[in-house]
Every structure is written in structure tokens, then in C-alpha cells.
């Protein structure tokens, strides 16, 4: 009897293997990687530039920018003095591990502490494809509406932190934060949540402190593993 493996399963398995290789490469270089996901216009690039501006004196930061076309976002990030690699997907609605693997080859990873990956603007596909990242961050925004966790549950289920951007226009859009959180909690209980405004700077400190803690914790775990490996 012939057993046929669905093509989708083969694609996902191959992607996961490459993602594991990317993760090993990042770990070997001591780089912490963030995968930033959002719908178009939610403020991915704005949050990235704000983050770079705040942490550039503390951390050596690099970026990978994924977009269907143009280098507009990558140019904004690179203008801050950050080594940046542009990935134009040519129509694909997400980055995958193979794309990131090619991008990593263009960066001097040993010279970085933090790699910020800006995924293609989409609330469906990016949640499925692992890249080798350490943390997944979803950026929602007030103008999108407070019903998005109910409409796109897969995206909200698979992230480590949730940023709600553009809280400076909450009243103008009649956004109900309680309703929004009620949609998120069953999908991802206790999810780290950061309401903020990239425009005014309100709430950014909490986001930055979370990121600092995540990087520090990652370094501690790596140090423990190193000591354990040497003692063995």
C-alpha cells in the first residue's frame, strides 16, 4: 500500500528543519531574534524604529525587513545606522525559514545582540511559518478595530507578546480594550500585553523593559547550558 504524504506537510516539515538550523545559527552567534508580525499599517516599522532608537546604545541591533515590494521600510530602519537586509517576496504573503537563512548569510551575526525581523504585513500566513526566531510579537492597532482576535484567532494564539499600537486615537475609533482582551485571553492566557503609542511614546517603556528582560533571560539560560555542558 502506498502512503501519500500531503504536499503541505512536506513543505511545513522542510520549513521547520530550516527554522531549527536558523535558530542554531543565531544561538551560536549569541543573537536574540524577534519576529514582528502585523497587518499593513499597524505600525511594525514605527515600533522597530522606536525600539532601535531606545536600545541602540545598549545593544548591537540588526534587522531583516520582509515586504512584497519596495525597500521603503528597510530604508527607514537602515537610516538609523542599523545593518539591514531587505527581502522582497515577490507576492508571497509571509517570510519563511529559507528566506531568513539567505538573509542571515548577509549579516555579521557575531557583531549583533538583537535581530529584529519585520514580517510581511498579513494576519494569516506569518503565524504558520517558523523562521528560527526566539520570540514572536504581534502588533495590533486601534484603527483596525477591537474584533481582530475573534476574526484571526490563529495569529493571536501563536505569539509571545501583543502590542496594541496607536492608543492615542482610542476615543476617535471607539476601541473597546476590554472586549479586545476578552478575545485574546482564551486564545493565549496571560499573554504579555503592551498598549502604546509609537507617535507619542506613551507605553513604550513597558515594551522595552519586557524586551530587555527576555534578552537577559535568554543569556542566562545560555550561560547555564554552557556551564552544564562543560561540567559534563
Going from the C-alpha of 95 to that of each of 163, 178, 181, the distances in angstroms are: 20, 32, 27
Portion of the chain with pLDDT greater than 70, in percent:
92
Contacts of 126 (CB under 8 A, 6+ apart): 35, 37, 93, 94, 95, 119, 120, 155
- Would you report the helix, strand and coil content of the chain in percent, each value rounded to 5? 50, 15, 35
pLDDT at 64: 98
- Check pLDDT > 60 for residue 2: no
Span 92-145, pLDDT tens digits:
999 999 999 999 999 999 999 999 999 999 999 898 899 999 999 999 999 999
Burial of 56 (0-12, 13-18, 19+ CB in 10 A): middle
Span 52-108, pLDDT tens digits:
999 999 999 999 999 999 999 999 999 999 999 999 998 899 999 999 999 999 999
Mean pLDDT of 28-32: 97
Nine cell digits for residue 58: 545598549
Give which of 101, 26, 111, 11 is closest to 61, Cα–Cα. 111
Nine cell digits for residue 28: 551560536
What is the pLDDT confidence band of residue 232, given thresholds at 50, 70 and 90?
Answer: low
Domains (range + CATH), the chain: 7-227 (3.40.50.300)
Amino acid at each position: 500500500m502506498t502512503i501519500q504524504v500531503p504536499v503541505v506537510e512536506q513543505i511545513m516539515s522542510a520549513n521547520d528543519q530550516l527554522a531549527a538550523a536558523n535558530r542554531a545559527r543565531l544561538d551560536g552567534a549569541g543573537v536574540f531574534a524577534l519576529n514582528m508580525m502585523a497587518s499593513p499599517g499597524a505600525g511594525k516599522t514605527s515600533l522597530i524604529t522606536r525600539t532601535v532608537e531606545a536600545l541602540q546604545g545598549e545593544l548591537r541591533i540588526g534587522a531583516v525587513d520582509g515586504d512584497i515590494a519596495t525597500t521603503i521600510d528597510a530604508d527607514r530602519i537602515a537610516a538609523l545606522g542599523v545593518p539591514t537586509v531587505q527581502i522582497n517576496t515577490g507576492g508571497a504573503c509571509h517570510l519563511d525559514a529559507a528566506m531568513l537563512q539567505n538573509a542571515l548569510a548577509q549579516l555579521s551575526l557575531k557583531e549583533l545582540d538583537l535581530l529584529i525581523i519585520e514580517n510581511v504585513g498579513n494576519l494569516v500566513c506569518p503565524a504558520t511559518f517558523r523562521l528560527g526566531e526566539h520570540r514572536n510579537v504581534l502588533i495590533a492597532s486601534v484603527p483596525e478595530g477591537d474584533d481582530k482576535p475573534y476574526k484571526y484567532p490563529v495569529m493571536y494564539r501563536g505569539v509571545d507578546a501583543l502590542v496594541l499600537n496607536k492608543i492615542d486615537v482610542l476615543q476617535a475609533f471607539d476601541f473597546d480594550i476590554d472586549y479586545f482582551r476578552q478575545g485574546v485571553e482564551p486564545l493565549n492566557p496571560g499573554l504579555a500585553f503592551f498598549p502604546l503609542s509609537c507617535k507619542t511614546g506613551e507605553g513604550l517603556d513597558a515594551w522595552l523593559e519586557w524586551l530587555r528582560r527576555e534578552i537577559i533571560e535568554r543569556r542566562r539560560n545560555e550561560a547555564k547550558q554552557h556551564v552544564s555542558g562543560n561540567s559534563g
